[in-house]
Amino acid sequence: MPGTIPTIGERFPEIEVVTTKGLLRLPDTYKGKWLVLFSHPADFTPVCTTEFVAFARRYQDFKELNTELLGLSVDSSYSHIKWIEWIKEKVGVDIPFPIIADPVGSVASKLGMLHAQSATHTVRSVFIIDPNGVIRAILYYPAELGRNIDEILRMIKALQISDQYKAAMPANWPNNELIGERVIVPPPTTREGAEERLRQYTCFDWWFCHKEVPSSEAEVARKFLERAAKKQ
Ligand code: BEZ
């Protein structure tokens, strides 16, 4: 049974998990930090190996966004340990974050991560959980498509800006086609509010107003986009 996917806006379910770095309580262990919990279909598989290397290479960028990483697959701790040893030995990359051991798939099932046609393979899911333990974004990718890790970094930065400046983020932020790196002012709730917005902000209309955020914030996200576009 694939299980039910928790919803954006809900508090992440309380679960105790066994990981390659010991027992952790979710979401409380990560209180005060952002968390990217991601599942991969299985250890010792090529696409997953490329994803682990990409996450590890960007670990410092996640840290700078006050963000921790946590992997999961329906495999044992032994398998996770052997696989990360293999990655270190063969491609010279240290995996610095813990991986949840879920040998019978109970955690994966609880989080709706299992593929509908498989009792043992998780899809490539990503849960972005905020410092209060609330699920803020969920991504779902199939086994045959590796994730864009720089996009995950861009999402976290954009969510942080959204919280800090009480704004919504446009498509492709910070390179939006209509408003560039500017951000969208939340909708008004009163007629007076609608009129006030026209005086206070730059607007296409009363329901579409935008404002500036410091360019240094946009630069951080732009760096992720540029790296994603660059040939390695
Ligand atoms: C992979 O990570 O390479 C993979 C895993 C499961 C199915 C297909 C590919």
Distance from the alpha carbon of residue 100 to the mean position of ligand 1, in angstroms = 18
From first CA to last CA, the distance across the chain in angstroms is 39
Per-residue model confidence (pLDDT) at position 232: 82
Q: What is the CB neighbour count within 10 angstroms for residue 211? A: 16
Residue position matching structure tokens 């986009």: 225
For the chain, how big is the Rg over CA atoms in Å?
20
Q: What would the mean pLDDT of 193-198 be, rounded to a whole number?
A: 92
Q: In testing the pocket of ligand 1, which one of 38, 47, 145 has its CB within 8 Å of the most ligand atoms?
A: 47
Question: What is the pTM assigned to this prediction?
Answer: 0.96
Catalytic, 48? Answer: yes
Residue 35, helix vs strand vs coil: strand
- Which pair of structure tokens corresponds to residue 55? 């996450």
Confidence of residue 3 (pLDDT cuts 50, 70, 90): confident
